[in-house]
Amino acid sequence: MSNDKPITIKDLTEILGPVSESVKRIDQSLWLMAQLQLAAEFEPDQAQRQKHYEKLADAELAHKKAREALTEAQNNKALHLPDVGHTELVKLHGKVKADEQYKPVVDAMDQVRAASDQRTALEDIAPVLTRLREAWKR
């Protein structure tokens, strides 16, 4: 078999591209199968795994709502004072007014922190179930 034209890297890339994609999909499938096996070993009862997935979904939703509440608190200040930091506001209008202006934001930040802590605690209970859930979401 004689070929006058040498094969370039570009040619090889084009030839091997579909093979590379197939190997990538096989790798993803094997990873997913391994995670499913780990999940079954970690929690053999499918109903319990489903409950955990639901708790994760609820925690994620609570975290999302807390972040939205924080954004709303940041955008809708309680008083119509200048949009400056707390320290500057204390200088301009006193501590009471500054605290009143930023209390909704601080409260919302506390809610985000609590929701994040709750979600992290659930994820830490069963990391393999968390990884599986994330893989299914992709």
Query: How does pLDDT run across 116-138, given as a tens digit for each residue?
Result: 999 999 999 988 888 888 887 77
- 62 vs 112: CA distance, rounded Å: 9
Neighbours of 123 (CB within 10 A): 17
Spell out the alpha helix ranges (H) of 6-94: 9-42, 46-75, 86-93
| pLDDT band at residue 2 using 50, 70 and 90 as cut-offs | low
Does the pLDDT value for residue 9 go beyond 70? yes
6-22 burial, b at 16+ Cβ within 10 Å, e below that, comes to: eeeeeeeeeeeeeeeee
Average of pLDDT values for 18-27? Answer: 93
Per residue in 37-78, pLDDT (tens digit) is 888 887 778 898 889 989 999 999 999 999 999 999 888 876
pTM attached to this predicted model = 0.67
Share of the chain above pLDDT 70, in %: 95
